[in-house]
């Protein structure tokens, strides 16, 4: 059963174990992803050369793949790292940034899903809708809406891909196709800052590294990240001061606060 106590316990495991999270990621937000990983209690490494990714991933607790600034060289590195992670049983988190905006992004997402065992597919409603074939719309790298019920879309995507799906939005929906968790932690300021979606994938990777249940770990990760956003909103005067407060809030958040303020519902 998911509750504040179990989420707090998972956060404590991240901080105690300090897993290495290997990123092949978006160069727009790479520094923020590294720092949010540190603030969550894990350790980041940003390595994407095909000469080292297979070796690097052997040391990792999770692999985060983010297609935000896509290139053919990067895709090749993702496939090499992902195949090694699959071989070793290391969870792979895929953030299909902008899937649906261009045929290249959509095709790359589908190629990664077909070629690798993805543990968690974390995307916004538009991206998940596109992948599920449910009429999602994407403008640039932002969700532009979803046709149909978001819970059923996320569930369909999970059943189609075989992944845990974490659909982020005003309420985050996490499902393996059978169980469905809704996370209500978070704040609208998180949508006014570039990179919070990429950071959410990094935190999701940190939590996946300390759990065998990627549906529960993804819900816990988004609840903790959302709670940090709630705390940060009370300290910020605008988007950039919110960014600083978000890092500080995640780094300093107490397990007792998470136990008291987690808002997760199982449908």
What is the chain's alpha carbon radius of gyration, rounded to the nearest angstrom?
Answer: 17
What does the pLDDT look like over 201-250, one tens digit per residue? 999 999 999 999 999 999 999 999 999 999 999 998 888 999 999 999 99
Q: Indicate the pTM of the whole model.
A: 0.93
The span from the CA of 57 to the CA of 51, in Å, is 12
* Assigned token pair, 185: 């932690």
What does the pLDDT look like over 43-64, one tens digit per residue? 999 999 999 999 999 999 999 9
* Residue 100 backbone class (left: φ over 0; alpha: ψ -120 to 50; beta: rest): left
Domains and CATH numbers, the chain: 4-262 (3.40.1190.20)
pLDDT class for 135, splitting at 50, 70, 90?
A: low
Mean pLDDT of 168-180: 95
The span from the CA of 161 to the CA of 220, in Å, is 22
């Amino acid at each position: 059963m998911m509750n504040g106590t179990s989420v707090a316990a998972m956060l404590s495991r991240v901080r105690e174990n300090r897993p290495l999270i290997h990123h092949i990621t978006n160069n727009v937000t790479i520094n923020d992803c590294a720092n949010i990983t540190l603030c969550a209690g894990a350790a980041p490494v940003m390595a994407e050369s095909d000469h080292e990714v297979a070796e690097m991933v052997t040391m990792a607790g999770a692999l985060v793949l983010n297609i935000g600034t896509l290139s053919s060289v990067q895709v090749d590195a993702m496939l090499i790292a992902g195949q090694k992670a699959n071989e070793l049983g290391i969870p792979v988190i895929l953030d299909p940034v902008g899937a649906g905006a261009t045929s290249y992004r959509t095709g790359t997402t589908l190629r990664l899903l077909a070629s690798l065992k993805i543990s968690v597919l974390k995307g916004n409603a538009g991206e998940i809708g596109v992948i599920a074939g449910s009429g999602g719309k994407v403008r640039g790298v932002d969700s532009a809406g979803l046709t149909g019920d978001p819970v059923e879309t996320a569930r369909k995507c999970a059943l189609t891909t075989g992944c845990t799906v974490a659909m982020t939005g005003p309420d985050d929906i996490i499902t393996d196709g059978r169980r469905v968790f809704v996370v209500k932690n978070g704040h609208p300021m998180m949508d006014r800052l570039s990179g919070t979606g990429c950071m959410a994938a990094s935190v999701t990777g940190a939590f996946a590294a300390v759990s065998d249940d990627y549906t529960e770990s993804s819900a816990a990760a988004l609840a903790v990240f959302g709670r940090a956003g709630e705390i940060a909103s009370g300290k910020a005067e605008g988007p950039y001061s919110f960014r600083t407060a978000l890092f500080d809030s995640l780094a300093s958040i107490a397990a007792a606060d998470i136990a008291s303020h987690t808002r997760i519902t199982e449908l």
